Amino acid sequence: MAEIQESKESLQESLQQVITLLNKHRLVEGLVHKQDMPKHELVESLVHKQNLAELHKKLDALHPADVAYILEALPLEQRLDVWDMVKAERDGEILLEVSDAVRQTLIADMDSDELLAAAEQLDTDELADLAPDLPKDVLQDLLDSLDIQNRERLQSALAYPEDAVGALMDFDIVTIREDITLEVALRYLRRIGSLPDHTDKLFVVDRHDILRGVLPLKRLVVSDLDLGVAEIMAADAVVFHPEDKADEAAKAFERYDLVTAPVVDENNKLVGRITVDAVMDFIRDEAESDMLSMAGLREEEDLFSSVWKSVQNRWSWLAINLITALVASRVIGLFEGSIEKIVALAALMPIVAGIGGNSGNQTITMIVRGLALGQISTHNMKSLLMKELGVSLMNGLIWGSVLGLIAYWLYDNFALGVVMMSAMTLNLLLSAVMGVLIPLLMNRSGRDPAVGSSVLITAMTDSGGFFIFLGLATIFLL
């Protein structure tokens, strides 16, 4: 269903209306509760009935994606109220649209029968998206209820990792043979009666399902009907394999402006297709999870997760941060004697550490982005490092001098100013080296350079900054 009734402008308004109706509904229920009015009287009450009817009407008129949006924006209790009001036959579609964290809260509220009923409304590729969140027994019942072809498809889709093309693909493929005319092809299509969403091309296969080419609909509708499929098909289509990396496929979709693309196995046999909407969802998810993971969060937390769940989600990152902060604290501890003598050192040292961390994070962001775009390899590592060292040297000399002057002016101690400038320059150089090396080493060891780079660099520039500044001060000022 590509068309919708609701216009997009009203989405925020819809949310506001639902909330208003919900609040009215809860107000009435609250009153009943307080006054010990029997529940059945409430249900009879006219106001209450009107409210509920209006809410149901409102929700029924919304596109599943819009209901999903509203569920995401509601705190848990209200979210479940709304979820109970959604028509059961739309459960499946809506579960597909919500984020993983919200989906878990909704599934936890459903019993096995409801879950099975929701799952049965979905296609195999949609089921594959939902399956990892289902309880084991429900998943087993579901597998048992499928026919052999769909069971095999579901099992194979589940077998691919989340970041493989196999996990993104669907099975809504329409195939034709290359030895027929367009006239015959069009007659065949009219017999089918409707084509899957996003169909922009037909897949041309031989009798063994080996892919021979693709026939874009926009060529089909402008070509002479007497021509053969083989004559107007494109034989050099971009194809993918189920085990290809999903992010490579996403880049190819962007690069070559694809809408759908065939997925073939090692023998070039057609096994499915990828569509641009799956790719777009993937890109959005990746961008979000990158942003979250750089702050040490995982996708499992939604805006209204419980306090306890949020604490767990943010736990590991804070713990790592605590350890690195303790290390930095012990580095300072080494120089307590110096600080006792020149207490100004205590006030100035966080500046050196902070600027280093900031500059290191800028370098790392450039490198992580270059790695993500595939622009960095061994051939240009050296010139990258030289550039970042140059930037750090300039920043160190300029800003270091400014801060050196400020330190001189504040504490009337020229040598302190010189130490400040030298320490800043050295720490910025350290931050450049680490900012280039950390993501490259993480990448080479097969890890995601976005995750944790930022903690690592901050740990190094903190401890390094304290050590360099207090060390120089101890040598030259005492």
Window 356-375: residues binding a copy of itself (CB under 8 A): 358-359, 361-362, 364-366, 369-370, 373-375
Stretch touching a copy of itself by CB under 8 A, among 50-58, 123-131, 137-145, 322-330 = 322-330
DSSP letters spanning 45-112? -HHHHHHHHHHHHHHHHS-HHHHHHHHHTS-HHHHHHHHHHS-GGGHHHHHHHS-HHHHHHHHHTS-H
Binders of a copy of itself among residues 199 to 228 (CB under 8 A) are 199-200, 216-224
3-class secondary-structure state, position 313: helix
Q: How many C-beta atoms surround the C-beta of residue 431 within 10 A? A: 30
Interface residue with a copy of itself among 116, 143, 184, 189 (CB under 8 A) is 189
What's the full length of the chain, in residues? 478
- 226: tokens are 């007497």
Stretch touching a copy of itself by CB under 8 A, among 44-52, 66-74, 111-119, 164-172 = 66-74
Interface residue with a copy of itself among 19, 28, 42, 232 (CB under 8 A) is 19
Question: Least separation, in Å, of the C-beta of 141 and a copy of itself?
Answer: 29
C-alpha distances out from residue 76 to 5, 62, 70, 117, 164, Å: 28, 20, 12, 23, 32
- Residue that the structure tokens 């307590």 belong to: 336
Q: Which is nearer to a copy of itself, 139 or 419 (CB)?
A: 419
475 near a copy of itself (CB under 8 A): no
Q: Which is nearer to a copy of itself, 138 or 348 (CB)?
A: 348
For a copy of itself (CB under 8 A), the number of binding residues is 135
Residues 292-321: x/- map of binding to a copy of itself (CB under 8 A)?
x-xxxx---x-xxx-xx-xx--x--xxx-x
Binders of a copy of itself among residues 386 to 405 (CB under 8 A) are 387, 390-391, 394-395, 399, 402-403
For Cα atoms 366, 369, 372, give the angle at the middle one, nearest 5 degrees: 150
Residues 122-161: x/- map of binding to a copy of itself (CB under 8 A)?
----------------------------------------
Q: Which is nearer to a copy of itself, 64 or 134 (CB)?
A: 64
Radius of gyration of the chain (CA): 30
Interface residue with a copy of itself among 37, 61, 336, 414 (CB under 8 A) is 336
Binders of a copy of itself among residues 252 to 281 (CB under 8 A) are 252-259, 276-277, 279-281
Q: Which of 236, 240, 292, 243 lies closest to 100, judged by CA?
A: 292
- 403: tokens are 């801060």
Q: Which is nearer to a copy of itself, 56 or 219 (CB)?
A: 219
3-state helix, strand, coil in the chain (%, to 5): 70, 5, 25
Question: Least separation, in Å, of the C-beta of 112 and a copy of itself?
Answer: 30
Strands 201-205 and 260-264: unpaired
Question: Least separation, in Å, of the C-beta of 282 and a copy of itself?
Answer: 11
Is the CB of residue 141 less than 8 Å from the CB of residue 112? yes
Question: Least separation, in Å, of the C-beta of 240 and a copy of itself?
Answer: 8
- Residue that the structure tokens 């998943």 belong to: 139
